[in-house]
């Protein structure tokens, strides 16, 4: 009997050792460009600093960012990126794996799949195995069924396919995905299977904007996104071996007051400590040993802070730059930029106003509100998944007819979602876009 017990103990210890032998990997993505989008790269830079501090080595952290903020002519402190008022410079040391034109959806997906990236950026790619844990953080603009890269879109259809393939090919033991974007819940809602060993949280449900926080008049930028700042600040402040992902979710949800933080996938993963993914301090068979009594408070001056819808940031930012201009030349420049953005917004309003009228999409929206208001669930999971095939093909129809989705038009992808829900074929949508945009171009 004693021999049997010793043998059993040896087997358990071997299993623990095997699990603990796995590595932690992180992929961090800022999908935007332009100084008015300062916050996305700021979030990613700060996340990098925290993950490294918590023990993940540079060799296992892969960073995508345009890298046009730190030394941007509009940056009054060259080489400096801050994520909070009076905060430290979070830019030094951040890996320049994929910058500039290499920040694309396809490169991101190829990196996740561990494909050969020789000759592209640093060439670093995800080399995780079935014993490893992967953390992905993505910060940028979004819309139903997509998130943005500079000039291009990453569609839910393609992301879910790649995550599913990674799971089937055993490229991780478990994966955690934190996503900051408008309508980010739509990327996972009823699309991400709970059988894939993936746990995801999002800054917003499938129907609402996420929010930018902390406009700083000295830096002349929004320094962070509310959801992103809340999870990064929490991770930095706590013992990552003693707080679970579920407890962190509760903290983020409590502090992110203007959008609804959601979670999807395999929720059993949330029982583990955050250090299993946002650090390098794996604990085998964690059972919720720590129970936080209250959320980690936001830094002084940021508690109960109010953000601005990400949809409104560019307009708000340009108005602020006109007001804060130091001379007539700078004011004239920003006045022209503001006028151009207003023209873009007027064009988008016209295109999608006609689009909505043509297919009577107000009826779809009204029916959805009745359905959602009558549901006992929250809006994270209470409606149908987006039609990923229809969204992708219809957005491409729009771009063929009217030009690239931009800051002014991205919010109207919600109208395309409505048309998909009404079973309007993508080709018919394309004909409507061509009709309206050809008239606008004459």
Mind telling me the catalytic residues? Answer: 141, 182
CB proximity list for 402: less than 8 A, separation 6 or greater = 351, 409, 433, 436, 437
What's the CA gap between 300 and 377, in Å, rounded?
35
- Torsion 390-391-397-400 (CA) sign: negative
Distance, CA of 209 to CA of 211 (rounded, Å): 6
Burial level of 252, CB count in 10 A (0-12/13-18/19+)? buried
Instruction: Report the greatest alpha carbon distance in the chain.
Output: 89
Question: How far, in Å, CA of 409 to CA of 257, rounded?
Answer: 26
Residues 66 and 41: their CA atoms lie apart, in Å, by 8
**3-state SS track over the chain:** CHHHHHHHHHHHHHHHHHHHCCCEEEEEEECCCCHHHHHHHHHHHHHHHHHHHCCCCHHHEEEECCCCCCCCCCCCCCCCCECCCCCCECCCCCCCCECHHHCCHHHHHHHHCCCCCCCCCCCCCCCCCCCCEEEEEEECCEECCEEEECCEEEEHHHHHHHHHHHHHCCCCCEEEEEEECCCHHHHCCCCCCCCCCEEEEECCCCCCCCEEEEEECCCCEEEEEHHHHHHHHHHHHCCCCCCEHHHHHHHHHHHCCCCCCEEEECHHHHHCEHHHCCCCCCCCCCCCCCCCCCCCCCCCCCCCCCCEEHHHHHHHHHHHHHHHCCCHHHHHHHHHHHHHHHHHHHHHHHHHHHHHHHCCHHHHHHHHHHHHHCCCCCCCCCCCCCCHHHHHHHHHHHHHHHCCCCCCCHHHHHHHHHHHHCCCCHHHHHHHHHHHHHHHCC
């Amino acid at each position: 009997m004693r021999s049997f017990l010793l043998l059993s103990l040896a087997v358990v210890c071997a299993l623990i050792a095997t699990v603990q032998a796995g590595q932690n990997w992180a992929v961090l993505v800022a999908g935007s460009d332009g100084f008015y989008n300062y916050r996305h790269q700021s979030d990613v830079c700060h996340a990098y600093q925290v993950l490294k501090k918590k023990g993940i080595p540079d060799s296992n952290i892969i960073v995508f960012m345009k890298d046009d903020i730190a030394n941007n002519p509009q940056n009054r402190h060259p080489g400096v990126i801050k994520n909070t008022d009076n905060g430290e410079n979070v830019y030094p040391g951040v890996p320049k794996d994929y910058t500039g034109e290499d920040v694309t959806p396809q490169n991101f997906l190829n990196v996740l799949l561990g494909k050969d990236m020789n000759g592209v950026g640093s060439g670093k790619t995800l080399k995780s195995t079935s014993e490893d844990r992967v953390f992905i953080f993505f910060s940028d603009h979004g819309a139903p069924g997509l998130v943005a890269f500079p000039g291009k879109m990453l569609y839910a259809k393609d992301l879910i396919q790649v995550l599913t393939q990674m799971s089937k090919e055993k490229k991780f033991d478990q994966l955690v995905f934190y996503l900051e974007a408008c309508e980010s819940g739509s990327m996972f809602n009823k699309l991400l299977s709970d059988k894939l060993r993936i746990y995801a949280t999002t800054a917003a449900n499938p129907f609402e904007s996420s929010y930018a926080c902390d406009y700083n008049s000295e830096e002349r930028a929004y320094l962070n996104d509310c959801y992103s700042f809340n999870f990064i600040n929490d991770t930095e402040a706590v013992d990552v071996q003693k707080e679970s992902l579920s407890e962190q979710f509760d903290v983020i949800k409590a502090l992110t007051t203007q959008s609804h933080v959601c979670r999807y996938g395999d929720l059993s993963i949330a029982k583990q400590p955050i250090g299993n993914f946002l650090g390098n301090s794996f604990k085998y068979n964690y059972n919720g040993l720590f129970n936080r009594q209250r959320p980690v408070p936001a830094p002084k001056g940021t508690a109960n802070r109010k953000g601005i819808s990400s949809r409104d940031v560019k307009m708000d930012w340009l108005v602020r730059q006109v007001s804060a201009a130091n001379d007539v030349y700078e004011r004239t420049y920003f006045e022209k930029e503001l006028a151009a953005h207003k023209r873009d917004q007027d064009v988008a309003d016209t295109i999608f106003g006609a689009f909505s009228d043509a297919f009577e999409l107000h009826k779809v929206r009204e029916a959805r509100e009745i359905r959602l208001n009558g549901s006992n669930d929250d809006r994270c999971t209470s409606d149908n998944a987006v039609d990923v095939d229809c969204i992708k093909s219809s957005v491409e129809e729009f771009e063929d007819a009217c030009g690239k989705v931009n800051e002014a038009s991205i919010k109207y992808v919600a109208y395309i979602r409505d048309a998909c829900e009404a079973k309007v074929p993508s080709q018919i949508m394309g004909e409507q876009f061509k009709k309206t945009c050809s008239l606008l171009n004459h």
